[in-house]
A and B are shown apart, each in its own frame.
Chain A
């Protein structure tokens, strides 16, 4: 464990140095993210100027769900961004070779190599929105509420990670799975809104198949609608464990199917 932290430290320090070098890049990354989010919020506000509530959800409740959805997504983004390049080109170009010749888990090795500080923008935005809407809604949080929400964020992030691992691993067979990963990742956008606005099919998909609803809507419902913690929070934990196990199986099978590349 200490070894893992040491490795992480070296890579993070190195990453920070690089960011100093390319400061502009970091600023534009975080900046463009804020702009996108603000546009989204403005969009929601405009809609709510016409209709004061959506399927029984008030404006500020929607903001709460929206803000909360950014937290698991942001933490996953912060730590596991390297999975994207595995899907896009590391496998296809045969560069995955080097992860296989080191005595640490290739998955862990891939993941520690980058920390995506752009994600801090996502996390900050999420926190701002959650806090703002909580104040507006005059929500009271007990200690247990907060602990359970933190658990939901951690395991929610793992749902994202699991889906990314599984999609990235497809590249071991089909060489390039970046676009598949993109499609799956984008379905998480559905989960930023109360899922009651969707029809049964979509609701079923984002609850049980690609369970992004558990990364935002259900944990938020636990607070907003007094949802049962066993379902709202326990569901996140259960879903993430199931998905993570499945994705690890796919990943390991993928490594055995890995064909490298002629050089």
Chain B
């Protein structure tokens, strides 16, 4: 249903030299820096699947979504969704998709919500019966009733997000793209939105692609995740596999009395660890050790560190899977 093949997106950034002289110069000869936002990504998605995109800020998630929705034209590679090429047959293609950007509304700033839905009904040519059914459904799962009369510009973030979500689903799209649909929302609204997404997916077999920084979203919604780092796809698989693989990693943060002690930590030689099983990162005062707790237990690791170095401070921290996967793949 969705086929993405070797897709890349480059942005040209004008390099501005500083000062007035620089600005004048850049008027005549423009120097460009090429930013590779997305680099050679391939994946496929089946009908009815919910796929989650994760990755750090600036990883390329939104850029990928924008290419999938036809907003951006890929620099290289091919995208085919429902048998159509998003950026080529745009008008026809977007009829079958819904899009929400958590960061900015897709709705008309001054129109009251009811009018907004009337306009969308015209644009997508939704018939009356279908329209009524959808509105009832939205009122039930997204509780729009309290603010349907208000212009979009007066809505709170949570209300606006629910409105955007409803608007994106009015025409029963086959594919729904949600770029950070839970950003900045409180726990209750977040769970409302997750419920709505689940329902849509179950009742209409809608394929859903979402991005998020909230791993709870991923846990409740997606069986499958794709992780992007610096534009490159670094993981594509089930959340469960990922947890099995990386969930056993632990992180120890320590500061040493004598920084050169760091050379005393020879995990490879002393503990027989492979290089995929641990990583040491240090900046001036803080040292972070990430390791696979299946290969070496937390207490063994702690005692090894304590016997080989003079510790000023030490703590064992929760694992942030996203963070760990990123570091391990560097």
Contacts and interface: CB of A to CB of B under 8 A. Distances in A.
Contacts of A102: 94, 123
Contacts of B97: 101
A103 B71 contact: no
B95 A10 contact: no
Interface string A98-131: 1011111100000001000000000000000000
Contacts of B66: 97, 260
- In this complex, which of A6, A257, A263 has the most chain B Cβ atoms within 10 angstroms of its Cβ? A263
Nearest to B30: A174
Contacts of B104: 94-95, 97, 263
Interface residues of A, number: 25
Nearest to B9: A259
Interface residues of B, number: 31
A256 B69 contact: no
- In this complex, which of A95, A101, A103, A256 has the most chain B Cβ atoms within 10 angstroms of its Cβ? A101
Given A10-B118, A95-B104, A256-B87, A103 B111 contact: no
Contacts of B72: 258-260
A6 B11 CA distance: 39
B122 interface: yes
Contact of B106 (A101, A105, A113, A262): A101
Nearest to B91: A103
B91 A18 contact: no
A259 B37 CA distance: 12
A7 interface: yes
Contact of A3 (B69, B73, B103, B125): B125
Contact of B73 (A7, A18, A256, A263): A256
Contact of B103 (A101, A113, A263): A263
A14 interface: yes
A101 B125 contact: no
A236 to B, nearest CB: 31
A14 B124 contact: no
A101 B92 contact: no
A11 B73 CA distance: 30
Contacts of A100: 69-71, 90, 94
A259 B87 CA distance: 13
Given A6-B122, A10-B119, A101 B91 contact: no
Interface in B53-76: 58, 62, 66, 69-73
A251 to B, nearest CB: 13
A142 to B, nearest CB: 42
B166 to A, nearest CB: 15
Contact of A262 (B62, B69, B122): B62
Interface in B106-134: 106, 108, 110-111, 115, 118-119, 122-125
Nearest to A98: B106
A103 B92 contact: yes
A119 B20 CA distance: 39
B91 A263 contact: no
A78 to B, nearest CB: 19
B123 A104 contact: yes
B99 interface: yes
Interface string A1-38: 00100110011001000100000000000000000000
A10 B72 CA distance: 30
A179 to B, nearest CB: 13
Contacts of A257: 73
A18 B110 contact: yes
B115 A14 contact: yes
Interface string A42-78: 0000000000000000000000000000000000000
14 contacts: A10-B119, A10-B122, A95-B104, A97-B71, A97-B101, A100-B69, A100-B71, A103-B94, A113-B108, A258-B71, A260-B66, A260-B71, A263-B62, A263-B104
